[in-house]
Amino acid sequence: MKRWPIVAGLGSTQTLAYGSTYYLPAILAPSMAAGLGVAVSTIFLGLSLALVTAAVLGPRAGRWVDAGLGRQVLVAAHCCYALGLGLLAIAQGPWSMCAGWILIGLGMAMGQYETAFAVLTSYYGQAARGSITGITLIAGFASTICWPIHAALDATIGWRLTCAIWALSQLALAVPAILWALPLRPLHNHCAPQHQGTAAPPEPGSSWVLLVLAFLFAVTWFTTTAIGAHLPLLLMGLGLSTAQAVAMATLMGPMQVLARIIEAIFLRRYHPLIGARIASLLHPLGAGALFLVGPVLAPLFVMAHGAGNGILTIAKGTLPLALFGMVGYGRRQGVLMLPARMGMAIAPFAFGLAVAAWGHWALSITGGLTLIAGLGLFTLRARYADGAQVGNAQAAAPGHPG
């Protein structure tokens, strides 16, 4: 089973999935609010509904991937995205708008990084780390690609037709790409329950490891969602024009990708915990620099946040794989991401209120939480579940197809 079609297919469809849903309100929210006669915060409340839906249903989707149904789950996800975006395009008020976001949330439960990582783990087991990095390298450009497209389409054809175009793209581009790239079922499902004998027995302190990871992911994705939803508005609050803010915000995508290249070249030979510790400190450092020096360091903050998020996105897939093993990986990811998705759900609305009240000083919330979560990682031991070290060594070896 060649890896490049799978990585290319999943990477491109993840770019479309995140760009057309998760990053949509950051640009379209003002136009959508004006067209529907609601407050901008109501649009972000719709995104929060989507993320709550994803949080509740995520563990179930993980079980389906563990059962070897990853291809079918991803196809269903993009069909839900299409339905939800189509409903947004014809929404006439807040209720139909919220219904569209709930359908998008159903797609998020089945079609975001957690599912893609679980699919790769079901195919390749502990050797999936390189492929996980490959997907995030491609999808790291989601905001860079889609924010300018959102802005251009909104200015020319309006937000409704913009949503309609993204809905059609799910069916015309994403679904065929998944059907082309992924086999019907993995040849050897490494996540299936029958492989339980290969898993390491729980070690003392494993509950603490689970708690630290759950808190890290919750804080990281609260922060990522808050910044993803409000970064252009946050930068405009510093005195930048709309065009300048969007241009500066797009630095985040390339920095995510650059950080992932560094992870792929230099950090993959080390335990994922090492890179996660470094990455968790970048957002607080960037926010601190912005507080101390002022708007002139806004690009530094954007780049620091992007780099940290880039590596932590990989760690979301590789840390649980290294510390807990591959058996039941899909379900475990769903459980670990439940608090993270709840954090994501409240982030757009809660951080929007903070930005409205305090401006860029709202970053003290995300900076403080991320710093605490990062310090928690230093309490963990860089160990591997049974067999993981071998798999990662293979993944890092020259010529390995990952």
Select the more confidently predicted residue: 228 or 390: 228
Asked if the model's pLDDT at residue 315 lies above 50, the reply is yes
The predicted structure's pLDDT at residue 392 = 43
* Overall average pLDDT of the 247-275 stretch: 88
Per-residue pLDDT reduced to its tens digit, 14-71: 999 999 998 899 899 999 999 999 998 899 889 889 989 998 898 888 889 888 888 9
Task: Give the integer Cα–Cα distance in Å for 238 and 216.
Answer: 29
Per-residue pLDDT reduced to its tens digit, 272-286: 999 999 999 999 999
Fold of 3-189+202-396: Growth Hormone; Chain: A; (1.20.1250)
Helices 242-249, 298-324: axis angle to 10 degrees equals 30
The answer to whether the CB of 146 falls within 8 A of the CB of 12 is no
Which among 330, 335, 320 is positioned nearest to 115, based on CA atoms? 330
Per-residue pLDDT reduced to its tens digit, 105-129: 999 999 998 899 888 888 887 788 8
Which residue is associated with the tokens 């993980």? 62
Asked if the model's pLDDT at residue 233 lies above 90, the reply is no
Range scoring the smallest mean pLDDT among 34-43, 145-154, 157-166, 242-251: 242-251
What backbone torsions phi and psi does residue 189 show, to the nearest 5 degrees? -80, 105
Give the chain's mean pLDDT.
Answer: 86
Residues 6+ positions from 381 with CB-CB distance below 8 Å: none
What ranges do the domains of the chain cover?
A: 3-189+202-396
What backbone torsions phi and psi does residue 355 show, to the nearest 5 degrees? -65, -40
Global pTM value: 0.80
The predicted structure's pLDDT at residue 234 = 87
Range scoring the smallest mean pLDDT among 191-200, 292-301, 378-387: 191-200
